[in-house]
A and B are shown apart, each in its own frame.
Chain A
Amino acid sequence: MTAMRRRVAITGIGLVSSLGEGLAPHLKALRGEVAPIVDTESFKPYPIHRLAELDLSLQIPKRGDIRQMEAWQRLGVYAAGLALDSAGLKDDEAAKDRLELLVAAGGGERDHAVDGAIATGIREANDKGAYLNEHLMNDLRPTLFLAQLSNLLAGNISIVHGVTGGSRTFMGEEQAGVDAMRIGLERVATGQCEAILVGGAYNAERRDMLLSFELGGLAHKGTPVPVFADDRAGCITGSVGAFLMLEPVEAAAQRGARVFAEVAGVQSGFAKRRPGAVGAELARLIGELGPFTSGTRAISAATGIAPRTAEEREAIAAALPGAEVLAAGDLVGHGLEAAFPTAVAFAAALVAEGDTSDVLVTGAAQWRGEGAARIIAPGGGS
């Protein structure tokens, strides 16, 4: 189909992290005016960017709803609410009834105490199968399942905020965030969808997820060092929630919405696991979004995992010689499924505040997958 592509605007941004909520604290960090907040004690030896204190009731008024969710869902629902506020749609029931959701999500936290008790107690059990069954039936909270299910972040956004146009949840770690942005953009640009809320959330304050990283030898331990530092040895994760409201530029103008930025393009790739492949794939994706000018800034959602993080940096340097590369992970930690949407939100915030008019966003996943996006000033580009 060669029908006209519609230009796509970001008309709402919802952000929560260790730095706080909304654009202001994140802009300060992006401008180097405040330092990141890293907790090196609570999950020692793993440094973590823990979520700032939030008054959850501001976005999730019913206590029953809060109780039914795990931390990752709460911070996602909170961030989605901020995005709706910022888009001016929070109380527009008709718009929310049509608004679609595209959420990048993993799963929820396990009950660490139950797991530990079962793993300990089962050793002495004569019938280990019966022991496991008995304790799972008696000790798991019935509602825990719903707090863990991947698509229940979207489900809770529907329940709490009344966004009911339809939802899809992408899984697959970092790449889920890239493809959610890409497919969200393409559906709006080609007229398949009139408005969509895209984003994700990740709670880093959980040992079961640290275990996943550590099994792969991918968790940085000890003193935090920057994402692109030579002695960086894996991920430093952070609790983040990031949602973006996408709609056609024309529709935004018609309803008088503020356009923070436009999404010029999102590309996703899937390199094989061999040296140099990630860099080459990122170079290809970046090439699809170019050419760039000397004023283009770069924000990376890189994990800090070698050697792909270094390959990502080289690919950016080749496309934007001499440009400073900001690692979103240095400011708020690595947010897995939410990492790419967070970096895009940062780019949109910088564009909205006039710090720049053109940002290249990149990200190579912990295991497989690469992404790149270009965020430009309203009315910019060609």
Chain B
Amino acid sequence: MTASATRDHMGRPVVAVTGYGIVSSLGIGRADNWAAASAGTSGVNAISRFPTEGLRTTIAATVDFALDAPFTSPELGERLAAMAAEEAIGESGIGPIGDFPGPLFMAVPPLELEWPQRLELAEASGQDPVDYDDLLAVAAKGEHRAYHELFLFGGVAARIADRFGTRGAPISLSTACSSGGTAIQLGVEAIRRGETDAALAIGTDGSVQVEALVRFSLLSALSVRNDEPQKAARPFTKDRDGFVMGEGAGALVLEDYDRAKARGTRILAIVQGCGEKGDGFHRTRSSSDGVPAIRAMQAAIEDAGITPDDIDYINAHGTSTPENDKMECMSCAAVFGERMKELPISSNKSMVGHTLTAAGAIEGVFSLMSLAHQRLLPTINYDNPDPAIELDVVPNVARDAKVETVLSNSFGFGGQNTCLVLAAEPR
């Protein structure tokens, strides 16, 4: 224990952010991502990773500069996570790479054998027709052992844990499209419990492969604006038609505020509050009254010990699906009332696409950068406003503003709603 035990409004340790890192379709690292996002750049392009003939959607915000092709989703997810974590840990100065003094909480996409590997096993079987018993017979020969480990759900986090020397068993988690937010929340909770002085929270997603794309496509969730990839992610516009899959990773070094102070490191921000609320309405749609999203935002604000009036900016979930953007607007109006007409809210997804499992962490990092630079990132492609959505979406151009407290929203399939309050260091 340090001499000055800083506590929050509920008597809990204060959780500081002392490092963060990011990779997205806009580039590697904070500098490149900030420059590109500040300039309103889109990372969406035609997919070149696999043939797209016959697919309804042929665009995505992929990260094609991190690994040499071909690669599997877990390999890319691990690489992106490692890049983001290395930047975050390096900045925090918490210790050498490979000796992180706390646990790992990691949002990772679900995994399974992918088509190239499945077809490789089928080919090796020599059977025609081929079924799962034939694949089992091939597997029993023991010549494809690496695929067991590669496609384990816990594999990516285990390899990241080994690489960065985090403590204890790494937590692999999913709350669908709010997973990144949940990873941060779990880290905050561990520090508040006094279980650890530091935690590494990561969200990563490198899963733009054919079947993942098809699955979202079959749910009619994706934009089909294939002819204008860079215009396809258009949150809050009247002609938004779905989200664009994205890839990337965000990583945060979380520390007990006093311990961070004691070692003389710079406090970049604090995670002031976390809130969540489940929704039992439907598997993919949210309650028509918006109550779960409203209560998740209110829970985060209450957990932070502040009021809605203290929020300076909202980093939206803003997927660009007809449903989400309408519901998010309605829920924000319920929480912030008349003030919502002038409270800026913008969607990073207009530029980096929906990075799914990583989104909460990547958008957390963008929010932290807004705090650092006192600048709000734009919602690009806002050229046809939805009249039913009366919001200041920071249209098209970044804006300098006084920002001390940010609310970052993440909502996901399965009734997941996770919100974070990120704030400048208390004076």
**A contact set with B: CB distance below 8 Å:** 1-3, 68, 101, 105-107, 110, 112, 115-117, 119-120, 122-123, 127, 129-130, 132-134, 136-137, 140-142, 144-146, 148-152, 154-156, 158-173, 175-176, 178-179, 183, 186-187, 190, 192, 207-208, 210-218, 221, 268-270, 365, 367-370
**B contact set with A: CB distance below 8 Å:** 11-13, 50-56, 108, 110-113, 115, 118-119, 122-123, 128-133, 135-136, 139-140, 142, 144-145, 147-149, 151-155, 157-158, 161, 168-176, 182, 186, 189, 192-195, 210-211, 214-219, 276-284, 292, 296, 412-417
Q: How far is the CA of A166 from the CA of B112 in the complex (A)?
A: 26
Quick check: B413 and A119 within 8 Å, CB to CB? no
Q: Which residues of A contact B192 (CB under 8 A)?
A: 1, 192
A270-B131 contact, Cβ under 8 Å, with A159-B282, A164-B280: no
Q: How far is the CA of A158 from the CA of B145 in the complex (A)?
A: 38
Quick check: B283 and A218 within 8 Å, CB to CB? no
Shortest beta-carbon distance from B386 to chain A in Å: 26
Q: Which residue of A lies closest to B142 (CB)?
A: A217
Quick check: B279 and A158 within 8 Å, CB to CB? yes
Quick check: A142 and B194 within 8 Å, CB to CB? no
Quick check: A137 and B56 within 8 Å, CB to CB? yes
Q: Which residues of A contact B219 (CB under 8 A)?
A: 142, 145-146
Quick check: A190 and B193 within 8 Å, CB to CB? yes
Q: Select one of A3, A152, A269 contacting B169, CB under 8 A.
A: A269
Q: How far is the CA of A368 from the CA of B211 in the complex (A)?
A: 28
Quick check: B119 and A119 within 8 Å, CB to CB? yes
Quick check: B174 and A368 within 8 Å, CB to CB? no
Shortest beta-carbon distance from B166 to chain A in Å: 9
* 14 further contact pairs, Cβ within 8 A, besides A159-B415, A172-B152: A105-B174, A142-B219, A150-B110, A150-B174, A156-B414, A166-B277, A175-B169, A207-B132, A210-B136, A211-B139, A215-B148, A269-B168, A269-B169, A367-B154
Q: How far is the CA of A2 from the CA of B1 in the complex (A)?
A: 11
Quick check: A164 and B51 within 8 Å, CB to CB? no
Quick check: A146 and B283 within 8 Å, CB to CB? yes
Q: How far is the CA of A20 from the CA of B396 in the complex (A)?
A: 59
Quick check: B210 and A132 within 8 Å, CB to CB? yes
Quick check: B168 and A208 within 8 Å, CB to CB? no
Q: How far is the CA of A214 from the CA of B125 in the complex (A)?
A: 14
Quick check: A172 and B279 within 8 Å, CB to CB? no
A155-B413 contact, Cβ under 8 Å, with A133-B53, A136-B211, A179-B171: yes
A107-B168 contact, Cβ under 8 Å, with A1-B12, A1-B193, A115-B118: no
Q: Select one of A162, A167, A216, A369 contacting B148, CB under 8 A.
A: A216
Q: How far is the CA of A3 from the CA of B11 in the complex (A)?
A: 10
Q: Which residues of B contact A110 (CB under 8 A)?
A: 112
A sample of 22 cross-chain residue pairs with beta-carbon separation below 8 angstroms, ordered by A number, consists of: A112-B131, A116-B132, A122-B119, A130-B53, A133-B51, A133-B214, A141-B218, A145-B218, A145-B219, A150-B174, A158-B278, A158-B279, A159-B283, A167-B415, A176-B154, A183-B186, A207-B135, A215-B147, A270-B158, A365-B154, A368-B169, A369-B154
Q: Select one of B129, B149, B414 contacting A151, CB under 8 A.
A: B414
Q: How far is the CA of A281 from the CA of B246 in the complex (A)?
A: 39
Closest 10 pairs between A and B when the two form their complex, measured CB to CB: A155-B414, A129-B51, A172-B154, A216-B148, A1-B194, A164-B278, A207-B132, A166-B276, A119-B122, A142-B218
- Which of A115, A170, A215 lies at the interface centre, i.e. has the most chain B CB atoms within 10 A of its CB? A215
Q: Which residues of B contact A365 (CB under 8 A)?
A: 154
Q: How far is the CA of A186 from the CA of B139 in the complex (A)?
A: 40
Q: Which residues of B contact A178 (CB under 8 A)?
A: 169
Q: How far is the CA of A165 from the CA of B296 in the complex (A)?
A: 10
A123-B214 contact, Cβ under 8 Å, with A1-B193, A132-B115, A268-B169: no
Q: Which residues of A contact B195 (CB under 8 A)?
A: 186
Q: Which residue of A lies closest to B159 (CB)?
A: A368
Q: How far is the CA of A107 from the CA of B110 in the complex (A)?
A: 7
Quick check: A173 and B152 within 8 Å, CB to CB? yes
Q: Which residue of B lies closest to A153 (CB)?
A: B414
Q: How far is the CA of A172 from the CA of B152 in the complex (A)?
A: 7
Quick check: B130 and A192 within 8 Å, CB to CB? no
Q: Select one of A122, A156, A208 contacting B132, CB under 8 A.
A: A208
Q: How far is the CA of A378 from the CA of B154 in the complex (A)?
A: 34
Quick check: B13 and A1 within 8 Å, CB to CB? yes
Quick check: B414 and A158 within 8 Å, CB to CB? yes
A68-B112 contact, Cβ under 8 Å, with A122-B119, A165-B278, A367-B152: no
Q: Which residues of A contact B151 (CB under 8 A)?
A: 212
Shortest beta-carbon distance from A367 to chain B in Å: 6
Quick check: A186 and B193 within 8 Å, CB to CB? yes
Q: Which residues of A contact B168 (CB under 8 A)?
A: 268-270
Q: How far is the CA of A168 from the CA of B182 in the complex (A)?
A: 8
Q: Which residue of B lies closest to A206 (CB)?
A: B132
Shortest beta-carbon distance from A210 to chain B in Å: 6
Q: Which residues of B contact A166 (CB under 8 A)?
A: 276-278, 296, 417
Shortest beta-carbon distance from A245 to chain B in Å: 16
Shortest beta-carbon distance from B284 to chain A in Å: 7
Shortest beta-carbon distance from A149 to chain B in Å: 6
Quick check: A169 and B279 within 8 Å, CB to CB? no
Quick check: A164 and B186 within 8 Å, CB to CB? no
Shortest beta-carbon distance from A85 to chain B in Å: 18
Q: Which residues of B contact A268 (CB under 8 A)?
A: 168-169
A162-B175 contact, Cβ under 8 Å, with A116-B131, A168-B186: no
Quick check: A137 and B13 within 8 Å, CB to CB? no
Shortest beta-carbon distance from B300 to chain A in Å: 11
Q: How far is the CA of A151 from the CA of B174 in the complex (A)?
A: 6
Q: Which residues of A contact B296 (CB under 8 A)?
A: 166
Quick check: B132 and A151 within 8 Å, CB to CB? no
Quick check: B280 and A152 within 8 Å, CB to CB? no
Quick check: A162 and B280 within 8 Å, CB to CB? yes
Shortest beta-carbon distance from A221 to chain B in Å: 8
Quick check: B176 and A151 within 8 Å, CB to CB? yes
Shortest beta-carbon distance from B323 to chain A in Å: 15
Q: Which residues of B contact A107 (CB under 8 A)?
A: 110-112, 153
Q: Which residues of B contact A106 (CB under 8 A)?
A: 110, 153
Q: How far is the CA of A216 from the CA of B141 in the complex (A)?
A: 10
Q: Which residue of B lies closest to A221 (CB)?
A: B140
Q: How far is the CA of A239 from the CA of B202 in the complex (A)?
A: 32
Q: Which residues of A contact B189 (CB under 8 A)?
A: 187, 192
Q: Which residue of A lies closest to B287 (CB)?
A: A164
Quick check: B136 and A207 within 8 Å, CB to CB? yes
Q: Which residue of A lies closest to B117 (CB)?
A: A215
Q: How far is the CA of A337 from the CA of B154 in the complex (A)?
A: 11
Quick check: B153 and A150 within 8 Å, CB to CB? yes
A112-B210 contact, Cβ under 8 Å, with A178-B169, A270-B168: no
Q: How far is the CA of A190 from the CA of B189 in the complex (A)?
A: 10
Shortest beta-carbon distance from B116 to chain A in Å: 10
Q: Which residues of A contact B115 (CB under 8 A)?
A: 132
Shortest beta-carbon distance from A79 to chain B in Å: 18
Q: How far is the CA of A192 from the CA of B168 in the complex (A)?
A: 21
Q: Which residue of A lies closest to B177 (CB)?
A: A151
- Which of A145, A165, A218 lies at the interface centre, i.e. has the most chain B CB atoms within 10 A of its CB? A145
Quick check: A116 and B129 within 8 Å, CB to CB? yes
Shortest beta-carbon distance from A80 to chain B in Å: 12
- Which of A106, A192, A212 lies at the interface centre, i.e. has the most chain B CB atoms within 10 A of its CB? A212
